[in-house]
Amino acid sequence: MDERRVKTGAAISVIALIILIIVAGATLKLSRAFFLICGAGVVVILAIFVYVFVSISYNSRRRVLESQLKSESKELRIEYSFLRKVAGVPIKFRYKELEEATDGFQSLIGKGASASVFKGILNDGTSVAVKRIDAEERGEKEFRSEVAAIASVHHVNLVRLLGYCNASTAPRYLVYEFISNGSLDCWIFPKRVPQRRIVIGGCMSWNLRYKVAIDVAKGLAYLHHDCRSRILHLDVKPENILLDENYRALVSDFGLAKLIGKDESQKDVSTIRGTRGYLAPEWLLEQGVSDKTDVYSYGMVLLEIVGGRKNVCLVEDERDKSKKKWQYFPKIVNEKVREGRLMEIVDHRLLECGGVDEREVRTLVHVALWCVQERPRLRPSMAKVVDMLEGRVRVEDPPDSRMVLVDLLGVCEDATDSINMPRLDSMSSQTTHSNVDYASTYSLATTVLSGR
């Protein structure tokens, strides 16, 4: 546009000068004034031509340089994006990109207490799971916890964070690699009415269950022992364990994660958040959390993998069929193991199909009972758990646990909901299905755990 204006202006100026020379020649004839006007006009015309030539040359060279710079800039952006992906550095996405990738957030694949997960496809064809954190009050804290915990860690048994979208207002978004076979709960628990639009799952074979147990243990061991700062997951449960196309387990959902220094033994927390049935006793009693808190939750998951049932559930009361009562599976397991009836706790669907290794069942159950010991100091580290499951360390018979918090762990109507737990000293005023004296139970639990 500038070049066209220069040419137009130069042409008008030259024409005007030529007209001036012609008019001067007609009026002044060959006088001295005419020659002065004529000479000045020619000089100006030549100057205009020189200016136009220089301007066109300059603009042409500028266009070439701009084209080169754009090409180099594009190559640098591509290279930078490639290096970020290779290094595993999360990418900051624009909201518009995520909206297009998920087709307006239509494909819902999971929903929790404070977040929803949608399947999407990025422009480069990468399948992703976009987690939308909906909770306004906890959204920022959960978003920052998850990014801080997972952004810098890389392990085959941890889900990979590809990017994020931190808008000025809620909700916020986290972009993960898409894991095709969903979460572990779909594969070990009998199917219920699905709350998801994409229905997957089935009854996982015993060999795969044992492999999943090892995969999860390796992922948690990496978080506890091999990271620069130890990472406590604090929400280990089947819903947060994903399975890829080869049924390799990946630990996910770091919204409650805490980072602690290598020299710290535990971390105090102001509120109790997590999922009923997986919360360690020391957390319920507000005595701080540590890596042994994750070990307890992992032990509960092991029992669910073996039994194919939830740790806390409602069952029919044998005395009165019209009523239901709370049943705590770990207590049943503990009793069956002491009675030598180990195989009675195995998922009946597995027993019907066959192929269950009793030696491996014993290993998983004994490891699980070690992990759910009420005193944290009795629980093994996740590194030792891996060694026990892979046969490098002998699994000793676990001590008999009193499980004094059985009734406290079953005070809710839905044992799978994530919660913000109230203080335990206020629970005695709440109406529950149990006639337990919470004050005395709390006192007993504190006494038992004092030897941690």
Active-site positions read: 235
Cis peptide before 171 (omega within 30 of 0): yes
The DSSP letter of residue 232 is E
How many Å separate Cα 238 from the centre of its chain?
A: 15
Q: Which helix (H) or strand (E) holds 142?
A: helix 136-150
3-class secondary structure, 83:
helix
Q: Given the structure tokens 């008999």, which residue do they identify?
A: 400
Residue 388 and residue 379 in contact, taking contact as beta carbons nearer than 8 Å: no
Residue 311: which of 295, 284, 332 has the closest Cα? 332
- Cα dist. 124→94, 95, 121, 160, 345 in Å? 15, 17, 8, 17, 47
3-class secondary structure, 437:
coil
CA angle 99, 103, 109 (to 5 degrees): 100
CA angle 38, 39, 43 (to 5 degrees): 115
Residue 245 and residue 272 in contact, taking contact as beta carbons nearer than 8 Å: no
Tell me: is residue 321 an annotated ligand-binding position: no
Residue 253 zone, left/alpha/beta (φ > 0; ψ -120 to 50; rest): left
Using CB atoms within 10 A of its CB, is residue 320 exposed (0-12), middle (13-18) or buried (19+)? exposed
- Cα dist. 278→71, 218, 377 in Å? 55, 19, 18
How far apart are the C-alpha atoms of 335 and 338, rounded to whole Å? 5
**Other CB atoms within 10 A of residue 426 CB:** 9
3-class secondary structure, 194:
coil
For residue 103, which phi and psi values (nearest 5 degrees)? 55, 50
Cis peptide before 238 (omega within 30 of 0): no
Residue 162 and residue 90 in contact, taking contact as beta carbons nearer than 8 Å: yes
The DSSP letter of residue 267 is B
How far apart are the C-alpha atoms of 238 and 300, rounded to whole Å? 10
Annotated binding site for ATP: 131
Annotated binding site: 131
